[in-house]
């Protein structure tokens, strides 16, 4: 608009000659500009076809004005810079260079054609060779500069948008696994990789976790192997690196934590990775999850075909922003779990000190009334006896609910003690002899599995008290042969079937305790129920232990 005002003011100067086309052309150009300004004000993202039409109009007006100019020193060539600016803003480098060639060549051919057709008497001053060469070179240099700046700005916008989109995947509601799955998927699409691996390890131990994601949006945690720690957490000064196979060797590019390129870095660790995963090229970047976790992301067969050090540098900056976001999700999830544990403990105390005590007091009052009624021969004694049993049953249910609420804090170290307390409490409250047997003082399974095993044991004891009519119960917790096994057996009446059924058979026949089947499925365990009607039942839950990592 500033260029238009300048040229228009110059045109209004006295003695400024020009053809009859120039003034109407300027007016039409002004009206078209105002119309497009108001049109795009209410539509921020016009279609691609509209953008090309508008760009063609912006390029055609300077061509026509320069062609019909009659003054020796007009300022119509300033409109060409506007066309170049528009091309740089709308498109990029190559589109800007093409626009420059068009605005240089098209007026020449148009003026030559009009001269041959005797529409114009001579070549316009703006297109004389003595002046055109200098301005053409200026336009090409300006087009190259504007196009380069436009490409850089477009790249920065794309990187900023991708970073914002990636950071938006770090959501507490999705959890750690969901967040990592979304992040790996975005990086797969961004870099055109075939598969992505995430290796995470605790900083104070050699425990390692492996996650895998591919283009089919399939994310899964893999069991770690013996040599996984040395394979994925090899010592190297490179923070981000890329290796591609070239004539039997590896072409290696690596940057340190500051983004500086390393000279002659060691690439011997690529061969063990190539043995574990088939790839022709691989990129790796390290990330930190606070002080507790560290990790590395491996992209198999990425499409890093541009400036490889710059691509790696952007990957390093990207992960540097994603790492704290993922760590925030980890901390918030932990805070929520601890807050939930505190709230559950408060509810358990309220149940114990409030509702349970009130029900027990009511039961004692009913028992007193029942005894008085029995001594007097009152016919309501039987009704009071049924009411007393009902209150006793409700008190036991409230105690079971309280224990279920409290069991969420169980881990591998406290699980044996928790089960021993449950057996003792069950014997005291249900009047059924209960014994807990365990050789190990702790089990090496995740906390989630421990919580579910504790709830499975509680549910089994509740079912025994309600339905089995057993006199003896035995709870066993064993850890051997790579498995953790929980066994609950009793000498009651058993189930409706006879024999030993696996989890799949129980599902097909719809036999066995439903709640326990669902909890076993949550921890990827195996449930086996053995029933001998009239003599008892045996419930076994087997969970695969995570493999021991290599300790170097």
Where along the chain do its domains lie? 2-166, 173-333, 410-552
Q: Is the pLDDT of residue 22 over 80?
A: no
Nearest-angstrom CA–CA distance, 162 and 185: 12
Cα–Cα distance measured from residue 387 to residue 380, given in angstroms and rounded to the nearest whole number? 11
> Are the CB atoms for 443 and 509 separated by under 8 Å?
no
Among residues 240, 254, 519, 525, the alpha carbon closest in space to that of 407 is found at 519
Burial tier of 82 (Cβ tally within 10 Å: 0-12, 13-18, 19+): middle
- CATH architecture classification, 173-333: 2-Layer Sandwich (3.30)
Give pLDDT, residue 529.
92
Three-class SS of 59-102: HHHHHHHHHCCCCCCCCCHHHHHHHHHHHHHHCCHHHHHHHHHH
pLDDT at 532 over 80: yes
More confident residue, 284 or 40: 284
The pLDDT of residue 322: 86
Task: Characterize 313-340 residue by residue with b for buried, 16 or more Cβ atoms within 10 angstroms of its Cβ, and e for exposed.
Answer: bbbbebbbebbebbbebbeebeeeeeee
407-443 pLDDT tens trace? 556 788 888 888 998 899 888 878 889 999 988 788 8
Contact 255, 240 (CB under 8 A): yes
Q: What is the DSSP letter of 408?
A: G
**552: Cβ contacts below 8 Å, ≥ 6 apart:** 206, 229, 230
Percent of the chain with pLDDT strictly greater than 90 = 9
What confidence tier does 549 reach under pLDDT thresholds 50, 70, 90? Answer: very low
Check whether 186 has a pLDDT greater than 50: yes
For the segment 334-342, the average pLDDT, to the nearest whole number, is: 75
pLDDT of residue 472: 93
Looking at domain 410-552, does it have CATH number 3.30.565.10? yes
Q: Report, in angstroms and rounded to the nearest whole number, the Rg of the chain calculated over CA atoms.
A: 39
Confidence of residue 319 (pLDDT cuts 50, 70, 90): confident
Q: What is residue 285's predicted lDDT score, i.e. its pLDDT?
A: 92
Nearest to 285 by CA among 254, 327, 330: 254
Burial class (CB in 10 A: 0-12, 13-18, 19+), 68: buried
Residue 26 in this model has a pLDDT that exceeds 70: no
Q: Please give the Cα distance from 295 to 200 (Å, whole number).
A: 4
Closest residue by Cα to residue 287 from 329, 233, 220 = 233
* Most confident residue range from 82-86, 136-140, 378-382, 487-491: 487-491
Look at residue 477 in the predicted model and tell me its pLDDT: 92
Residue with tokens 């919580």: 451
- CA 324 to mean position of chain CA atoms: 13
pLDDT of residue 541: 92
């Amino acid at each position: 608009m500033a260029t238009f005002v300048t040229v228009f003011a110059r045109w209004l100067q006295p003695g400024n000659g020009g053809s009859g086309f120039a003034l109407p052309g300027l007016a039409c150009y002004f009206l078209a500009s105002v119309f497009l300004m108001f049109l795009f004000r209410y539509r921020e993202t016009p279609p691609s076809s509209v953008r090309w039409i508008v760009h063609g109009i912006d390029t055609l007006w300077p061509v026509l004005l320069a062609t019909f100019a009659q003054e020796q020193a007009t300022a119509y060539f300033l409109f060409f810079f506007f066309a170049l600016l528009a091309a740089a803003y709308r498109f990029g480098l190559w589109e800007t260079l093409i626009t420059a060639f068009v605005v240089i060549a098209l007026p020449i051919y148009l003026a030559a054609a009009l001269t041959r057709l005797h529409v114009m008497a001579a070549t316009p001053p703006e297109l004389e060779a003595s002046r055109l060469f200098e301005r053409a070179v200026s336009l090409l240099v300006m087009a190259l500069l504007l196009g380069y700046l436009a490409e850089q700005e477009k790249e920065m916008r794309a990187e900023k948008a991708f970073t914002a989109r990636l950071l938006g995947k770090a959501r507490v509601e999705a959890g750690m696994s969901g967040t990592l799955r979304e992040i790996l998927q975005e990086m797969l699409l961004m870099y055109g990789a075939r598969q992505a691996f995430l290796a995470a390890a605790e900083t104070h131990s050699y425990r390692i976790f492996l996650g895998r994601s591919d283009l089919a949006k399939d994310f899964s945690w893999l069991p770690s192997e013996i040599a996984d720690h040395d394979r994925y957490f090899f010592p190297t000064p490179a923070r981000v690196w890329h290796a591609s196979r070239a004539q039997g060797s590896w072409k290696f590019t690596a940057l340190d934590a500051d983004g500086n390129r390393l000279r002659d870095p060691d690439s011997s660790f690529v061969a063990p990775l190539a043995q574990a995963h088939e790839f022709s090229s691989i990129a790796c970047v390290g990330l930190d999850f606070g002080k507790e976790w560290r990790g590395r992301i491996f992209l198999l067969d990425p499409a890093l075909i541009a400036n490889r050090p710059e691509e790696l540098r952007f990957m390093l900056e990207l992960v540097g922003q994603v790492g704290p976001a993922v760590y925030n999700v980890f901390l918030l999830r932990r805070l929520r779990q601890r807050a939930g544990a505190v709230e559950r403990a408060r509810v358990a105390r309220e149940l114990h000190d409030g509702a349970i005590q009130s029900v027990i007091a009511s039961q004692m009052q009913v028992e007193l009334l029942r005894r008085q009624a029995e001594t007097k021969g009152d016919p309501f004694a039987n009704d009071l006896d049924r009411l007393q049993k009902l209150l006793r049953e409700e008190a036991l249910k409230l105690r079971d609910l309280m224990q279920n609420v409290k069991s969420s804090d169980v881990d591998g170290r406290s699980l044996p003690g928790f089960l021993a307390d449950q057996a003792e409490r069950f014997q005291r409250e249900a009047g059924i002899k209960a014994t807990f047997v365990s050789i190990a003082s702790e089990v090496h399974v995740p906390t989630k599995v421990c919580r579910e095993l504790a709830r499975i044991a509680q549910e089994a004891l509740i079912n025994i008290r309600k339905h089995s009519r057993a006199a003896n119960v035995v709870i066993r917790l064993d850890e051997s042969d790579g498995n953790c096994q929980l066994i609950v057996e009793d000498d009651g009446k058993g189930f409706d079937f006879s024999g030993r059924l696996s989890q799949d058979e129980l599902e097909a026949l719809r036999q066995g305790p439903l709640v326990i089947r669902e909890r076993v499925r949550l921890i990827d365990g195996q449930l086996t129920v053995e029933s001998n009607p009239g003599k008892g039942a045996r419930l076994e839950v087997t969970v695969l232990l995570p493999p021991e990592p290599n300790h170097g």
